[in-house]
Copies of this chain bind each other. A is one copy, B any other.
C-alpha cells in the first residue's frame, strides 16, 4: 500500500499542497506519520512505537478486533440512513439507555459531536421558547458557526460575544475566583450562574423541525460499531480498568507534584487527567512555554500527549481505555526525567524560583443543572454534568445526543 511506500517528507509536501494550512497537524514543527495502530500504541512509517495519550477515536484501543469485525460484518450486509426500520439503531439506543439515568431515554443520532451540540441548542430553544444561552467561560462546544458563537474559547479570537450569550465563570477551584480555600466553592459558583441567569432577558423565538436525516450517525454500521464498543467495554471491564489505572496515574502524578514545583494541580476522572503547569506557586501563572517544551520532549521519547486549557498549560491525558499500569509508570517516569532535566537547566540559569507545595486536587463542582451547555473538561475543571456519561465512554456517546424531558438537556462531552 502507498502508506508504506511514500516517505514522510513526500506525504508532508503533498499535504501542504492539497490541504488547507488551517487543517492543523499535531507537532507542526515535526509532524508524525502514523501508519498503524494497535491498542494504546501507534506506529510511524519507520516502525517506531508511540504510546498514545492523545487518542480521539479509538476508545477501546486502536483497531480492536471485535470492533473491526462488527463493522465489517455489517458493511457486508447493509449500510444506509436511518429512515428505514433497522434493529441496530434500536438495539444501540436500548443498550445506551441502560447506562443512563431513567429520564434520559430518547435518542437522536448525529454525524458528529458538533452536530449533536447544534441540535441540543435547537432542542433547548424549542423547549424553553427562549433564545439566550448561558455558557461557562473558556468552554468549547464544537466547530460549527452556531457553536463558535457559544464557545468563549473560540469567539474571543473571532467575532466576539453575541448579545444573547452570557458567560458564567468556570467552576475552577484552582485558578478561578473561588478556590479550594473557599468554604463552599460549589455554592459560590452556582450563585454566579444564578446571577447570570436572572440577568438574562427572556426572548421567545419559534424553532422546530428538529431531527435531520443523517448518513453516518444512526446507520446500521455506526450502530453495529457502537454496540461492539459497548460489548468490549463490558467484556474487558474497561470502566473498572480505567478507574484503577486512572487512580494509579493520578497517584504517580501526585508524587511528581510533590517533587516538581512546576506542577501546580492535578485533576481528572478515570483516564481523563489534566496536569496544570505553573510558573510559580503564588501567582499560578500558566507555564505555557514549558508545557509546550515538555510535550515536544515527550514526543522524542515516543509518548504522544497534548496541552489544553485557556493558558495551554494543562497536559491532557486521554489515552484509549486499555492504557495499562505499566504505561502509566513508563509515561510518568519519562515525565519525571524530563522535568528533572528542565529544572537542572533552569537552576543553572536561575530564571525560575519554584517551590514544591502540598498536593491540592480540585474537586469537581456540585450539581449545576441550570447550565444549558457545560464546559469542556479539557479546558480546566471537570464539569459535573459529565458524570452521567459512562466514564471515559466518549467515542460513542460524544457523537450522539441524549435528551430527556428535563428542561435543560445536557449536551454530551466534546472530544
A contacts, CB < 8 Å to B: 1-3, 6, 8, 11-12, 14-15, 17-20, 22-26, 31-37, 42, 56-58, 62-63, 68, 71-72, 75-91, 93-94, 97, 105-109, 111-112, 114-115, 118, 121-122, 142-146, 148, 154, 157-159, 205-216, 218-220, 395, 399, 403, 415
Please state the number of chain copies in the assembly. Answer: 2
21 CB contacts below 8 A, A to B, read A1-B87, A2-B91, A18-B105, A20-B403, A32-B85, A33-B84, A33-B85, A35-B77, A35-B78, A35-B86, A57-B81, A63-B77, A68-B72, A111-B114, A112-B215, A112-B216, A114-B115, A115-B143, A142-B212, A145-B145, A158-B209
Contact B68 A76 (CB under 8 A): yes
- CB atoms of B94 and A18 under 8 A apart: yes
A106 to B14, CA, bound (A): 11
B206:A108 contact, CB within 8 angstroms: no
Cα distance A42–B220 when bound, in Å? Answer: 14
Given contacts A23-B211, A85-B8, A115-B144, contact A80 B68 (CB under 8 A): no
Give the Cβ gap from A52 to chain B, nearest Cβ, in Å: 9
Separation in Å of the A11 CB from the closest CB of chain B?
Answer: 5
Complex alpha-carbon distance, A403 and B19, angstroms: 10
Instruction: Assess whether A34 is in contact with B75, with CB atoms less than 8 Å apart.
Output: no
Tell me whether A78 and B23 are in contact (CB under 8 A). no
Complex contacts, A112 vs chain B, CB 8 Å: 111-112, 115, 214-216
CB distance from A126 to the nearest CB of B (A): 10
Whether the Cβ atoms of B80 and A58 lie closer than 8 Å is yes
Are the C-beta atoms of B157 and A208 separated by less than 8 Å? yes
Given contacts A14-B90, A36-B78, A146 and B145 within 8 Å (CB-CB): yes
Residue of B nearest to A83 (CB): B26
- Report Cα–Cα, A223/B79, bound state, in Å: 17
Contact B209 A22 (CB under 8 A): yes
Given contacts A8-B85, A14-B93, A57-B219, 19 further A-B pairs with CB under 8 A are A2-B87, A3-B86, A18-B106, A24-B211, A24-B213, A35-B77, A37-B78, A42-B84, A56-B80, A56-B81, A57-B215, A112-B214, A121-B145, A142-B212, A143-B212, A144-B146, A158-B207, A215-B399, A216-B216
